[in-house]
Structure 1
Amino acid sequence: MLDFDEAQARLAAAGKPPSISESCPLHQAQGRVLAQTLFATLDLPPADNSAMDGYAIRYADYAEGHRFPVQQRCYAGLAPEALQKSKTIRIFTGSLIPEGADTVVMQEDGEEFGNEFQIHHLPAQGAHVRHQGEDVRTGDQLLAKGTRLGAAELALLASQGYAELGVYSRLKVGILTTGDELIQPGQPRSAEQIYNSNGPMLAGLVNNMGAEIVHVMHAADTEASLDAAFGTLLADCDLVLTVGGVSVGEKDLVKPAIEQFGGTLDMWRVCMKPGKPVALAYANDKPIVCLPGNPASAFAVFTVLVSPLIRGMQGRAQVFPDIQFGRIATDKVLCDKRDEFLRVQACYNAQATLELHAFPKQGSGVISSLPWASGLARIPANIQVGNGDVVPYYDLRHWLV
């Protein structure tokens, strides 16, 4: 069997990074991938300003019992006057610091009498002043090429005045499920049929990663149906994901269908559980990944094998998310000839140690384990693992985005 780490590396390198970029309005850039490195165009803050509602003073003017005449009330967005000796200017959060002032006294630390302000608690000199450029300096690198944009990144770019961004074109993905036993949810079902859960599941996984789902198709177990489906998918998509139909049974017709389009299919028996049967093919110079048919197997393979491929084809700088480590909670010794990926829930105990609790049933068709799990715990092949042993943990919050 193909070593898991080798399979992961080969799949991650199976696609080409994007070469086409486009301009995208800032407010529509959530989930897109930067096609260029961006730099700061101005200092942030652009000028010294107040971190509090309060009173701007010259620290040297303070004397116990002194009442500062209020020279001006200056709201954020207005230009303050230069501060006169022994006076104060009433300012608010975000107000510019007046010329000559060096300290802000919070309004709670003093009291106004008429039009005069008396300090009850003197802060340290320079308190509550945000200094020009203390956050970002002009010319600093803001975000590197290959960064996936979220709300935090958009806030940073907006603060620098970026209204349009150069981003890579969205990766176009097609999904194909096969099997005459499958019917679409909402349709009447006979005893020999099951509802197609793989199609909606894979569509959700792909969508969550920011790729564009072009087609979610189902093909009957016939050459004509599969040929028609692949013709559409290869014409419209950059990456095709299939489920089922790549074994050696009489109705496993995906392999010959791919060969009809000049493709070659490399069948792998990956040393992982669940998810041993995986196939990689190329047709029309586009990768096709064939996943196992059981939902939990398809989910695990997508998480640890397919998601790095998608990130690479999106142009992301980080293809492999970080792997965490936690202590497995189990009442039996775990050991298998393959790397086993258990569906687990992670939580911190009273000692702040990450504990991994496995779902009671780990069968590859146990769909109820998927919404329950927070991640996958990897039990290394041919190594005995018992309660409290430390194992790698693949957090779905990081591996499926």
Structure 2
Amino acid sequence: MMLTIEEAAKIIQSQNVKRSVIDRLIEDSLGYWLAEEITSPFDLPSFDNSAMDGYAVSGVSESYKITGEIQAGDISAKKLRDGEALRIFTGAKIPDSATAVVMQEKTRVKNNILFVEGEVSEGQHIRRRGNELSSGQTVFKPGHLISPASIGMIGSLGINSLKVYQKPSVRIISTGNELVPPGHTKELGQIYESNSYSLQSALESHGFRCEEKTHIKDDFSAIKQGIEAFLEASDVLLISGGISVGDYDFVKQALEENGVQELFYKVFQKPGKPLYFGRRDDTFVFALPGNPASSLTCFYIHVLPLLQKLSGANSTGLQRLDVPIDHDYDNTSDRPVFLKASIQNGRVSILDRQSSSMIHSMALGNALVFLNEPALISKGEQVQTILI
């Protein structure tokens, strides 16, 4: 009996996983998940500072005597008396006695006297100490995905090294007598192998990398040996093809003879029904369908969440949105279906050529529309859309 998509996802997410923690410099931590809590070691800003170029003034008046200037980084203690102004620049420390900062565009200067256009209000254009973060405040929790903004935030706290979760070691095996590497000459009856390239690229686009990949012909002994070698060196092994029920589909038997425990085989979905998931000790195996669109769809829906879980992520999987469909669509699929689609201008269109062997339409799209049951979908109706 085939599992539902939800049952398969539950099995994948319920796996106990082994994670390692490593130290990374902040400039080398992009795309990793934090393994520690980051707290602010001081108030941020750590001093009152100017939000713009202009003049720090004391008191409320139409004019002030200019007595000097403060540059960003100036650590001297400048004083202001009532009725005085200091030329000040963005980020510079505000004197304790300053009432406000007047932006440069709202002023004019004559004979060292500053004239203000408009009203001066208490605290205007001043970034107050601790306005963004207080000392000891939690900035990021473990499981936070480190983005460029995260790196900027952490760097602004003076932290240059982080504890993050090590990412899993991933290897890929493609199988099939009919497959020829791109760049080689193929004969009639052969096709160019593409799945390992798309899977490797999918890994890289989500912050993972393929440590090694190989192609093995439909020979049981060779497949068994190849699986054995890669199991020893991998946290996750992806196998493309050879998992169906044909006379030359040897992958399932080769996995069994290598001591891999089957956790499920076949999922009630389209494309991607002949999907296998298993593990041996701390190594996980996905045997993916050989059809290109099926293989990549299974990666996005089933493989990626496990890779993220292994990497310490708080939340896993691709972003899902309810998006209005741009046209009528009659879904006649006998299984829950992932349809190649394109989101443009806030609406989603289901693309032509939905066959599991066709990847061109997937390459033209940027999303998958998930439909759970047969139905006539009307233009403007909200459909679940997965961003790829």
Q: Is this a same-fold pair by TM over 0.5? A: yes
Among 360, 365, 375, the alignment partner of 2:357 is 365
Counterpart AA for 1:8: A
Per the TM alignment, residue 10 of structure 1 is displaced from its structure 2 partner at its CA by 1.5
Kept in 1: contact 2:300–2:318 (CA 8 A): no
DSSP 3-state at the match of 1:303: helix
Q: What's 2:59 paired with?
A: 59
Q: C-alpha offsets along residues 304-334 of structure 1, whole Å, 9 cap, x if unaligned?
A: 1111111111111112454210122344421
- Contact 1:15–1:309 (CA<8 Å) still a contact in 2? no
Whether contact under 8 Å (1:15, 1:312) holds in the other structure is no
Q: Deviations over 1:278-301 (max 9, x none)?
A: 111223441101111111111111
CA contact 1:58–1:100 (8 Å) conserved in 2: yes
* Cα displacement (A) at 1:335: 3.1
1:399 corresponds to which residue?
none
- Cα offset for 1:267? 5.1
- In the alignment, residue 393 of structure 1 is paired with which amino acid? T
For 2:54 and 2:270, the matched residues in 1 are separated by: 62
Query: Deviation at 1:201?
Result: 0.5
Matches within 5 A, 1:6-155: 6-14=7-15, 16-18=17-19, 20-60=20-60, 62=61, 64=62, 66=63, 68-79=64-75, 80-155=77-152
Q: Please tell me the residue identity of whatever aligns with 2:13.
A: A
Q: Would the alpha carbon gap of residues 268 and 228 (structure 1) be closer, same or farther in structure 2, given more than 3 Å must change?
A: closer
Distance apart, 1:242 and its partner CA: 0.7
Q: Distance between the aligned counterparts of 1:202 and 1:16, measured in 2?
A: 22
1:342 alignment partner, one of 339, 342, 345: 339
Tell me which amino acid in the other structure corresponds to 1:374. Answer: N
Is contact 2:49-2:126 (8 Å) kept? yes
1:313 to 307, 310, 315: 310
Aligned to 2:295: 298
Give the SS at the match of 2:315.
coil
Any idea what SS the aligned residue of 1:273 has?
coil
| TM superposition shift of 1:344 | 1.0
Question: Residue deviations 1:218-237, cap 9 Å, x none?
Answer: 11111232133212211211
Shift of 1:385: 3.0
* Structure 1 residue 355 corresponds to structure 2 residue 347: yes
CA shift in 2, pair 1:345/1:15, >3 Å: farther
Q: Does 1:256 align with 2:215?
A: no
Structure 2 CA distance for aligned equivalents of residues 364 and 247 of structure 1: 14
Q: Does 1:218 align with 2:219?
A: no
CA distance in 2, matches of 1:331, 1:101: 64
Distance of 1:10 and 1:343 partners within structure 2: 26
* Matched-pair contact (CA < 8 Å) for 1:15–1:313: no
Secondary structure class of the residue paired with 2:275: strand
Query: Match of 1:277, SS?
Result: coil
Contact 1:109 1:122 in 2 (8 A): no
Is the 1:17–1:315 contact (alpha carbons within 8 Å) kept by the matching residues of 2? Answer: no
2: CA distance, partners of 1:245 / 1:227: 12
TM-score, normalization: structure 1?
0.92
User: 1:103: Cα distance to partner?
Assistant: 0.2
Read off the aligned partner of 1:237 and give its amino acid letter: S
User: Structure 1 regions of 5+ residues with no counterpart?
Assistant: 349-353, 397-401
Q: What's the secondary structure of 2:349's corresponding residue?
A: strand
**Partners in 1 of 2:51 and 2:230 — Cα distance?**
55
> Number of residues paired by the alignment?
386
State the partner residue of 2:368.
376
Shift of residue 15, structure 1, vs aligned partner: 5.6
CA distance in 2, matches of 1:308, 1:165: 23
**Equivalent residue for 1:351?**
none
Q: Is the 8 A contact 2:17 2:282 kept in 1?
A: no
Q: C-alpha separation between the residues in 2 aligned to 1:16 and 1:303?
A: 20
Deviations 1:9-59 (A, max 9, x none): 2223346151x2111111110111111111111111110000110000113
Query: Pairwise CA RMSD of aligned residues?
Result: 1.7
Aligned identity (percent) is 29
Amino acid paired to 1:25: L
Structure 1 residues 346 and 257, CA, compared in 2 at 3 Å: closer, same or farther? same
- Asked if structure 1 preserves the Cα contact closer than 8 Å seen for 2:331 and 2:373, the reply is no
Provide the C-alpha distance between the structure 1 equivalents of 2:329 and 2:96, rounded to a whole number of angstroms: 71
Q: Does 1:236 align with 2:224?
A: no
Q: Residue by residue, what CA displacement relative to the aligned partner does 1:335-361 show, whole Å, maximum 9, x if unpaired?
A: 32211111111133xxxxx42101111
Output the CA distance in 2 between the equivalents of 1:327 and 1:235. Answer: 47
By how many angstroms is 1:211 displaced? 2.3
Would you say 1:268 and 2:251 are equivalent positions? no
SS class of match (1:145): coil
Higher mean alpha-carbon deviation, 254-263 vs 236-245, is at: 254-263
